Amino acid sequence: MTRPTVLVVGSLHYDIMVEADHLPRKDETAVGSRWYPKFGGKGGNQAVAVAHAGASSRMFGAVGTDDFGTFLRRALRDGGVEDAFVSAVPDVGSGMSVAILDTAGDYTATIVSGANLRADPGALDDEALWQDVGLLILQNEIPEAINIAAARQARARGIRTLLNAAPARVLSPDLVPLVDILVVNAVEAEMMGTGPVCCLHSAADAARQLSDRFEAVIVTAGSKGLAAVTPDDEAFSLPAEKVDAVSSHGAGDAFIGTLCAALVRGKPLPEAARDASHAAALHVSKRV
Half-sphere exposure of 90 (CA within 13 A, CB side): 0
- Residue 246 — pLDDT band, cuts 50, 70, 90? low
The predicted structure's pLDDT at residue 114: 97
Residue 228, C-beta contacts closer than 8 angstroms, at least 6 positions apart: 207, 216, 217, 218, 219, 235, 236, 237, 269, 270, 273
> Helix (H, G, I), strand (E, B), or coil: what is residue 81?
strand
**In which element (H, E) is residue 50 found?**
helix 42-52
Sheet holding 96-101, edge to edge: 32-40, 13-20, 96-101, 107-112
**228 within 8 A of 249, measured Cβ to Cβ:** no
| Amino acid of residue 57 | S
Least confident of 86-95, 174-183, 212-221, 236-245: 236-245
152 pLDDT higher than 70: yes
Residue 267, C-beta contacts closer than 8 angstroms, at least 6 positions apart: 275
Please give the Cα distance from 141 to 122 (Å, whole number): 18
Quick check: is 36 in a domain? no
Tell me the average pLDDT across 103-128. 92
Tell me the average pLDDT across 169-174. 95
Quick check: is 255 in a domain? yes
- Residue 248 — pLDDT band, cuts 50, 70, 90? low
22 pLDDT higher than 70: yes
> Where are the strands (E) in 166-212, listed by range?
181-185
Tell me the average pLDDT across 258-274. 97
Tell me what percent of the chain is helix, strand and coil, each rounded to the nearest 5: 35, 30, 35
Quick check: is 100 in a domain? no
Stronger pLDDT, 230 or 250, i.e. the higher one:
230
pLDDT in tens, 86-112: 999 999 999 999 999 898 878 888 889
Sheet holding 133-139, edge to edge: 81-89, 56-64, 5-9, 133-139, 160-164, 181-185, 216-220, 225-229, 235-239
Q: How far is CA 18 from CA 26, 57, 137, in A?
A: 17, 29, 29
The predicted structure's pLDDT at residue 172: 95
The predicted structure's pLDDT at residue 249: 64
* Helices then strands, each counted (H, E), the chain: 7, 13
Please tell me the total count of domains within the chain.
1
Stronger pLDDT, 171 or 241, i.e. the higher one:
171
CATH of the domain at 252: 3.40.1190.20
pLDDT in tens, 188-225: 999 999 999 999 999 999 999 999 999 999 999 988 99
Q: For the chain, report the end-to-end CA distance as a whole number of angstroms.
A: 35
Quick check: is 20 in a domain? no
Query: In this prediction, what percent of the chain has a pLDDT beyond 70?
Result: 96
The predicted structure's pLDDT at residue 247: 60
Hey, what's the torsion of the CAs at 184, 36, 242, 164, to 10 degrees?
10
Please give the Cα distance from 268 to 199 (Å, whole number): 24
Question: What is the pTM for the complete model shown?
Answer: 0.92
The predicted structure's pLDDT at residue 103: 87
Q: Considering only CA atoms, which of 253, 205, 250, 245 is closest in space to residue 229?
A: 205
Quick check: is 67 in a domain? yes
Quick check: is 162 in a domain? yes
241 pLDDT higher than 90: no
What is the residue range of 126's domain? 5-10+41-93+114-284
The predicted structure's pLDDT at residue 58: 98
Quick check: is 21 in a domain? no
Hey, what's the torsion of the CAs at 287, 109, 65, 169, to 10 degrees?
120
The predicted structure's pLDDT at residue 245: 59
Please give the Cα distance from 134 to 156 (Å, whole number): 13
The predicted structure's pLDDT at residue 244: 65
